[in-house]
Chains A and B, each alone.
Chain A
Amino acid sequence: MTTKEELALVVLAKTGDKNAVSVLWDVITPKLYGYLVNILKDRSAADDMLQETWLKAITSLHKFEPRDVKFSAWLFAISRNECRQYWRKNKHEIILEEDEPEKMPDNLVAKENITDKIFLDEILEKIPEKDREILRLRYLADFSFNEIAQILSIPPITARVRTYRALSKARIALT
């Protein structure tokens, strides 16, 4: 979805158009949920976090100014904040339960061998959380460097450099 399309949907959503919100949901939620699962390692926690994030976004939609900030980036920023509060309350991470997802939407890649996925997950565990976060936002949530910079409140050039450094560390972890 292009920025313009997203902006148009947000404008409609602000007027109370549920269809617009539904479209936004369908586009953003797979990335957001995947991101939350990867962070929290707990699906039920991720479900709660997903609902919390969207509810907060919807109730504060009238305050959202879509000038230079994408709605999806704003949503992810909210979810990061919610995750921080969650960890503060719980004080530890919960290990991922190894089960396959029951539903895969049609527009995603069909079920494949998850060996690669687990392999890279293991590699990610070996690099610092800061670098993991960058890689999640870049490759899982599919954000540009500018959008990552907005979410993490850093300059775009820093986002780019950190991404490359994270990839270097991942490569070292590979060997």
Chain B
Amino acid sequence: MFYKKISAQFAHWGKKNQQLSNRNEEIKINVLNSLRATAEPVKIQRPGIFRWIALAAVPALAVLLMVNYWRHPNVPLAMYAENSGFGGAMSSPQEAPVEGIAIDENSNKNADMMETDMTATGLGESASFKERATNVIAPAPDIQYYPDYYRQNSDITDTREFLKTSLGFEIKTRQVETMYTRLKTIIRGYDGRIDNSSAGEKYARISFVLPKKDYEAFVDEIQTMFPKKFITLNENNANLLGQKQNIEQQTQQTNLSLEELKNSKENLTKKHNEKISALQKEINQLSSTIYSLTEQKKAVSSTEETTIKKLNDQINYYTRVRTNKNQELSTENKEYQTKLDNYNKQITYQESRLTNLDKQDQNLINNVETVDGTIALQWVSIFDVINLYMPIYKIAITVCIIIIVGYLLFGRRSKEIELP
């Protein structure tokens, strides 16, 4: 309010101060007489052309950025999720497909890859030996359990490495089918195995495994086949130490269990034998006594009824005792057999578990010694090839930025007046 008022006052003051000299006409004539014509016609330069260019550069820049993002989203291909030897456990966290590339959805995922056998451990390790001994239902040896692959608390003091390598190539080429065939041949040439492949006019994909010893030579060969800008290599290494430790721990526990079972079985047999021996001795003694009494009875005259009766009583008594002992013997034998069978089953189970663990260990070694890989071939147009070497969008974006910055720095300033 104040500014408006004083501004109005000064405006009024300004108007009042505008005036002409007393010698206005005289000075005017002098000035007009000094005017001389210039020979050349004067061109009127349109002001502010740079301003219009800079203004146009702003929406142009926005459009270029959007188009550039749309054409080249920065998303890697899924490299090795489908065909890792881990049952999918070690898949890449970024699995969004690249635009325009057809993924083979019917690919044979893990079934054939499981020549690396994923056998399992058995019962819970926390169960006591007694529980396991008395309550076991021994599983068939060929049932497979999934081992604890996700063990992440490996001790730092264990510095062993069991590195599982996975690699993926993204290759841009104008000859998709030719390169597809050639690459398959190369893989087989390095004693590799192709697990999955699919090819079309503009896209192809190969999933394979290779011996680790040939890995570097293979990578070098592939990289020499294509220019640097056309090929991208992604490599992943995972340490399977956790698995190895798990297998070792289970093996140790199984061995311990087996030893305990064998010891128990031995003790059982020993005690049984002792008991049988003692019982047999008693039975023999009783038989001997009965025989002796029987002989005595034969020697006694038939008129000595009292003696005969006494002897008969004794014979009957010892016979009963002997019968009991025989029953005891029979019972002991039966019990022994039952327990023995039980121990044998448990021992068999633990032995089969050991076999499985051994197989797991071997599978782990085999797994580490192979490299899982994928190669994705993508067709490129001539424009894309040019863009790879000379990114047009980036050049255009850079030019727009330079124009805008130039305008902000130099264009907006008022032109300085050059004094004559």
Residue A13 CB within 8 A of the other chain: yes
B48 smallest CB distance to A (angstroms): 7
1/0 per position for A1-39, CB-CB distance to B under 8 A?
A: 000000100010111101001100100011101110110
Of A21, A69, A114, which one neighbours B417 at CB under 8 angstroms? A69
Of A54, A55, A81, which one neighbours B419 at CB under 8 angstroms? A81
Chain A minimum-CB-distance residue to B417: A77
Q: Determine if A68 and B414 form an interchain contact, defined as CB atoms under 8 angstroms apart.
A: yes
Which range contains the number of A residues in contact with the other chain? 35 or more
Residue B15 CB within 8 A of the other chain: yes
1/0 per position for B380-420, CB-CB distance to A under 8 A?
A: 00000000000000000000000000000000011111111
Of B18, B48, B414, which one neighbours A31 at CB under 8 angstroms? B18
Where chain B touches its partner, the secondary structure class is loop
Residue B52 CB within 8 A of the other chain: no
Q: Determine if A140 and B14 form an interchain contact, defined as CB atoms under 8 angstroms apart.
A: yes
Known A54-B31, A55-B30, A68-B48; judge A167-B3 contact (CB<8 A).
yes
| Complexed CA–CA distance, A21 and B414 (Å) | 25
B418: chain A residues within 8 A (beta carbon)? 63
Chain B minimum-CB-distance residue to A53: B31
A95 smallest CB distance to B (angstroms): 17
| Complexed CA–CA distance, A33 and B24 (Å) | 10
A25: chain B residues within 8 A (beta carbon)? 28, 31-32
Interface positions of B (Cβ within 8 A of A): 2-3, 6-7, 9-24, 27-28, 30-32, 34-38, 41-42, 44-45, 47-48, 413-420
Residue A60 CB within 8 A of the other chain: yes
Where chain A touches its partner, the secondary structure class is helix
Q: Which of B12, B32, B415, B417 has the most CB of A within 10 A?
A: B417
| Complexed CA–CA distance, A56 and B23 (Å) | 18
The 4 closest A-B pairs by CB, nearest first: A16-B37, A60-B420, A139-B14, A140-B14
Q: Determine if A114 and B16 form an interchain contact, defined as CB atoms under 8 angstroms apart.
A: yes
Chain B minimum-CB-distance residue to A112: B16
Known A47-B27, A66-B44; judge A21-B35 contact (CB<8 A).
yes
Of A58, A59, A101, A121, which one neighbours B19 at CB under 8 angstroms? A101
Chain A 70-127 residues near chain B, CB threshold 8 A: 73-74, 77-78, 81, 101-105, 108-109, 112, 114, 116-117, 120-121
| Complexed CA–CA distance, A44 and B68 (Å) | 69
Q: Determine if A117 and B18 form an interchain contact, defined as CB atoms under 8 angstroms apart.
A: no
Q: Determine if A33 and B16 form an interchain contact, defined as CB atoms under 8 angstroms apart.
A: no
Q: List 8 A-B contacts (CB under 8 A).
A: A43-B22, A63-B420, A101-B20, A108-B15, A117-B13, A135-B10, A139-B13, A155-B413
Q: Determine if A30 and B419 form an interchain contact, defined as CB atoms under 8 angstroms apart.
A: no
Q: Determine if B420 and A59 form an interchain contact, defined as CB atoms under 8 angstroms apart.
A: yes
Other A-B pairs, 8, CB within 8 Å; known A33-B24, A43-B22: A14-B38, A16-B35, A22-B28, A102-B22, A103-B22, A139-B7, A139-B11, A171-B6
Q: Which of A47, A138, A139 has the most CB of B within 10 A?
A: A139
B47: chain A residues within 8 A (beta carbon)? 67-68
Chain B minimum-CB-distance residue to A7: B44
Q: Determine if B415 and A150 form an interchain contact, defined as CB atoms under 8 angstroms apart.
A: yes
Chain B minimum-CB-distance residue to A81: B419
A102: chain B residues within 8 A (beta carbon)? 22
Q: Determine if A116 and B21 form an interchain contact, defined as CB atoms under 8 angstroms apart.
A: no
Chain A minimum-CB-distance residue to B9: A120
Q: Determine if A105 and B20 form an interchain contact, defined as CB atoms under 8 angstroms apart.
A: yes
Q: Determine if A55 and B34 form an interchain contact, defined as CB atoms under 8 angstroms apart.
A: yes
A121: chain B residues within 8 A (beta carbon)? 13
Q: Which of B9, B10, B42, B414 has the most CB of A within 10 A?
A: B414
Q: Determine if B16 and A150 form an interchain contact, defined as CB atoms under 8 angstroms apart.
A: no
| Complexed CA–CA distance, A42 and B15 (Å) | 19
| Complexed CA–CA distance, A30 and B44 (Å) | 27
Known A43-B22, A78-B420, A102-B22; judge A155-B414 contact (CB<8 A).
yes
| Complexed CA–CA distance, A12 and B84 (Å) | 84
